[in-house]
Structure 1
Amino acid sequence: MLKSTRVILNNKKTSAMVLGTAQNRFYSAEKKNVVVIGGGPGGYVAAIKASQLGLKTACVEKRGSLGGTCLNVGCIPSKALLHASHLYHEAHGTTFAKWGITMKDLNMDVSVMQKQKDKAVKGLTGGIEFLFKKYKVEYVKGEGTVTGKNEVSVKGLDGKNSTIATDNIVIATGSEATPLPFLPFDEKVILSSTGALALDHVPKRMTVIGAGVIGLEMGSVYSRLGSEVTVIEYSDRISPFLDKEVSAVFQKTMEKLGMKFKLGVSVKSGKVVDGKTCQLELVNNATGAAETFESDVCLVSIGRRPHTANLGLNNVGITLDERGRVPVDDHFRTSVSNIYAIGDVVRGPMLAHKAEDEGIAIAEQLAGRSGHVNYDAIPNVIYTHPEIASVGKTEEELVKAGIKYKVGKFPYSANSRARTIDDGTEGFVKILADAQTDKVLGVHIIGIYAGELIAEATLAMEYGASSEDIARTCHAHPTLSEAIKEAAVAAYDGKPIHA
């Protein structure tokens, strides 16, 4: 039975809904200015910023833990495993020994590694919940459904249901791993990124389907720990979204790690044999040659898809696009004027920091400010060793667009800080600048700490800097960032000092 009533909350009269039986009634909270559905990087940031700007805000999250895929089963736990496996690989190989650090009987306790990863995740997700309390964001644990343009119904994790009245709705439900139709995830043999992050052992043989960010990061983790890792990629090169020159060097570094690649290959079918082995049927795209390939586990990392199940968008007439995304205009507005969407459920790169920036922008817009996102200056990082980082256009994109450009490159091997580390001499910085105006159009880095260095390039592009601007900016010595300065000098006048 459902009926309207009037209740007093916090000494304020407001509309509410009475749901359930007399013994299990739940009154919805005070009417909100904005309800955010989804507590991931886009959603929780939007909720905090909206509340900071004076809007009465609620955030509905069904996971029971804030931070979304990124903090719970994505960016954060994967970086913990990447760090741990890198330390093990350095100690187990020759790197420590050449610095005079020797040890015997080195082992990796996977259970301890997993506990340390979980500790990092728990601390960060708990930190967001603290911020919700600090900034007075109402945290509603449950699955949110749009049941009207000013109404969100919640199926609570505690078994209670509620309806929240609101002026605006922001959809920020993120994305989920895309499975192969013939190879569903069981998270034991056929893994999504979630399963790969939770393995309690190091498999002898691992197959990775897809040479993108997730596949190469997780593949490198288990390769360092001792797995025989083979990556299968439909394209003729790994990470085809990268600058082609970077991609080529990247593959060589991964091969040195022990990873093997089957490029230009399609996975036609697959199955789990005896509950413990993955068997794939592969076909070479160029020759048509077929082969059967087996491994102990198979990580399927062919991309992610928007998570829009049970959102109830059809209740308000919102239709998804051909890729399952929520169509929005340049201000994140859907076809319903007071319903917005951000992050992985809308067009653009599926990146946590892109979602965060969109979360801030939509909150500012709802508060009457002019929030915006510069999509030409969104960095992308692959956290392997060495790291790959880029921002802006690739050479291939500039050629396709008919834009005349100049190139400035500088190798890590000529950088004094990289040489002192002696683990960072492989790689380079590449700057692409407009041939006439000298405006920086793209920056691509392969090398240690590339993910940190790319921030300088992103800032330069945000402010429309030229390569001369970067070249004439004093950089501390000795630092890896000097490689960016030297590459800028190379782009500006073709005469870097140290190369």
Structure 2
Amino acid sequence: MDKFDVCVIGAGPAGYAAAMRALDFGKKVALIEKNKLGGAGIHQGALWSKTWWEISREARLVNTLGRRLNLDSSGFVFQKVKAEVEKAVEQRVDLLYHHLENINLGLGEELFQFIKGTAKVVGKNDIEIQSNGSTQTIQADYIVLATGSVPRKLPHLPIDEEIVFTSDGLGNLDHFPKSIVIVGAGVIGCEFATIYSNFGNTKVHLIDKGDRILPFEDEDVVKIIEKNLEEKGVLIHRNSKLINMKVEDDEVRYELEYDDGAKESFRVEKALISIGRIPQYDNLFDDSIGVELDERGIKDDLTQTSVSNIYAVGDITADISLVNVGELEGRYAVERIFGKPQQPLIYKNISTIMFLDPEIAGVGMNEIQAKAAGLDYRIVSLNYETITRATAMRNTQGFIKVLVTDDEDMNILGMRVIGEHASSAIQAVALLISQDRSIKELAELIHPHPSIIEGIQECGRILMGKPLLKPRVLRNSIRCQVWNGEIYQDLVK
């Protein structure tokens, strides 16, 4: 029986990161994957969907310029676009396979083994693996569970991954549908609404149970996204509840009930159910092992489960379902096993991107979260029209918004950026948040010019009372206020 120091089950972002970090400690590692190397993070999630998004942005630009320049467009061929997306996925998978196949070179011994098969923890140190009709058992001092998540389904919805899809089944599409309804107005639902509406071939319906999409995000951010979606023809069903969905004559008929009691029916070609994801741990371990569960997934204490030598990382713990969080947890778990972690496992400075129109990047708290925490805070919001780089790009839609503590230190609580290059603007702020540092430190740096991040510098200067652009003059472009728990008050008269 083969014995390992660490066995990692699941070769998605979290599991891959855990396995590679264990090799850094010179440990013998087994990495087991039953399906596709890279997991949903590559095949149905981040890389796959974001490649669709990137191409859709280019399509949107072509459509827009075509109208401006009075050029005819023959449209976009679905199969060619799909092939380009698949090429991106294959490129990443090929790189990972090459990496794994050659990982033992230079180590001086065979420390790493990649195993294709379905794993089950049958003892505290025993893992049973089924592959190609055969079964083997290996042993490991430590086990890391990293099997990810799957789309949430509801029993009354006719999901078949041919007409009614989850995000995991959208790869089965072979054409741009003439129309599609998306159930769920969270990040994933809004991303696919953006993608399909960008190409201009599909009428998108988006079902939102509240009065606005992205209910966890601040209203000023959401307004821009809603405006752009509706300008591209997206029909947003606000304050609505899906009460019936059926497949009839190879189409989808769905019925909504609104908050005022009114009901309405619609017919579309396809449907996407996007109501979140749930941890994937069915048949992963014997009940006798004693791994405790809660309503969110596997219960863990900074990645360690109720069983001392078994750890859980990534989506399976339902902490935050993001690739970067999964990788962080995977590395941290191994560091905790074999040595003292160099950094604590903290989530307050995790950077996020929402691939919408335009993109949204964030780190730390937004206003909704700060108010929920009962904090007083100062806020500055700077529109893109004040930033030279945005003007040069001929796209000034968007803003930078920074929240700081309501005191002389003005430590950064969070930031949101919506607009072009948003994701490039947040890393310095993420570092300062992790160190409980002040916005003042960014105000005095020399930033590259012209760049979007100059706007962060100006936000700091505004809060310090020495801006280049005076808020009292540009009131429509600059907001500088304090929230005292009840009302906003202007900081600049």
Settle same-fold status: TM greater than 0.5: yes
SS at match of 2:86: helix
Number of residue equivalences: 461
Per-residue Cα deviation, 1:104-161 (whole angstroms, up to 9, x for no partner)? 44331111111111111011112122222343431111111110110111111x2222
> Is contact 2:279–2:318 with CA below 8 Å preserved after alignment?
no
SS at match of 2:392: helix
Counterpart in 1 of 2:232?
Answer: 257
> Is contact 2:225–2:356 with CA below 8 Å preserved after alignment?
no
1:120 aligns with 2:101: no
Q: CA deviation at 1:103?
A: 4.8
Aligned counterparts, 1:394-405, within 5 A: 394-405=366-377
1:135 aligns with 2:107: no
Report the Cα distance in structure 1 between the residues aligned to 2:434 and 2:292, rounded to whole angstroms. Answer: 34
1:348 aligns with 2:319: yes
1:256–1:454 Cα change, 3 Å: farther
**Matching residue's letter, 1:76:** L
Per-residue Cα deviation, 1:334-380 (whole angstroms, up to 9, x for no partner)? 11100010111114211111001111111212221315322101112
SS at match of 1:42: helix
Aligned residue among 307, 312, 322 for 2:295: 322
**Matching residue's letter, 1:398:** A
Report the Cα distance in structure 2 between the residues aligned to 1:375 and 1:399, rounded to whole angstroms. Answer: 18
> Is contact 1:48–1:131 with CA below 8 Å preserved after alignment?
no
Counterpart in 1 of 2:214?
Answer: 239
1:375 aligns with 2:350: no
Report the Cα distance in structure 2 between the residues aligned to 1:179 and 1:489, rounded to whole angstroms. Answer: 48
Q: CA deviation at 1:464?
A: 2.3
Report the Cα distance in structure 1 between the residues aligned to 2:388 and 2:376, rounded to whole angstroms. Answer: 32
> Is contact 1:207–1:295 with CA below 8 Å preserved after alignment?
yes
SS at match of 1:375: coil
> Is contact 2:197–2:229 with CA below 8 Å preserved after alignment?
no
> Is contact 2:181–2:270 with CA below 8 Å preserved after alignment?
yes
Counterpart in 1 of 2:27?
Answer: 55
Q: CA deviation at 1:251?
A: 1.4
Q: What stretches of structure 2 of length at least 5 have no aligned partner? A: 105-111, 475-493
Q: CA deviation at 1:313?
A: 4.5
Aligned counterparts, 1:49-128, within 5 A: 49-63=21-35, 65-94=36-65, 103-128=71-96
Identity, % of aligned positions: 33
Counterpart in 1 of 2:454?
Answer: 482
Aligned residue among 258, 268, 273 for 1:300: 273
Report the Cα distance in structure 2 between the residues aligned to 1:302 and 1:293, rounded to whole angstroms. Answer: 20
1:51–1:206 Cα change, 3 Å: same
Report the Cα distance in structure 1 between the residues aligned to 2:338 and 2:226, rounded to whole angstroms. Answer: 47
Report the Cα distance in structure 1 between the residues aligned to 2:280 and 2:466, rounded to whole angstroms. Answer: 48
Counterpart in 2 of 1:289?
Answer: 262
Report the Cα distance in structure 1 between the residues aligned to 2:13 and 2:402, rounded to whole angstroms. Answer: 30
**Matching residue's letter, 1:143:** T
User: What's the TM-score once normalised by structure 2's chain length?
Assistant: 0.90
Q: What stretches of structure 1 of length at least 5 have no aligned partner? A: 1-15, 17-29
Report the Cα distance in structure 2 between the residues aligned to 1:238 and 1:70, rounded to whole angstroms. Answer: 24
Aligned residue among 135, 148, 152 for 1:174: 148
Aligned residue among 309, 331, 335 for 1:364: 335
Aligned residue among 247, 255, 260 for 1:272: 247
SS at match of 1:293: strand
SS at match of 1:50: helix
Counterpart in 1 of 2:108?
Answer: none
**Matching residue's letter, 2:361:** A
1:187–1:494 Cα change, 3 Å: farther
Q: CA deviation at 1:302?
A: 0.6
Counterpart in 2 of 1:188?
Answer: 162
> Is contact 1:408–1:489 with CA below 8 Å preserved after alignment?
no
Per-residue Cα deviation, 1:89-113 (whole angstroms, up to 9, x for no partner)? 211223x676x7x754433111111
Report the Cα distance in structure 1 between the residues aligned to 2:233 and 2:387, rounded to whole angstroms. Answer: 27
User: What's the TM-score once normalised by structure 1's chain length?
Assistant: 0.89
**What do you get for the CA RMSD once the two structures are aligned?**
1.7
SS at match of 2:216: coil
Report the Cα distance in structure 2 between the residues aligned to 1:360 and 1:496, rounded to whole angstroms. Answer: 43
**Matching residue's letter, 1:457:** V
**Matching residue's letter, 2:120:** T
Aligned counterparts, 1:390-429, within 5 A: 390-422=362-394, 424-429=395-400
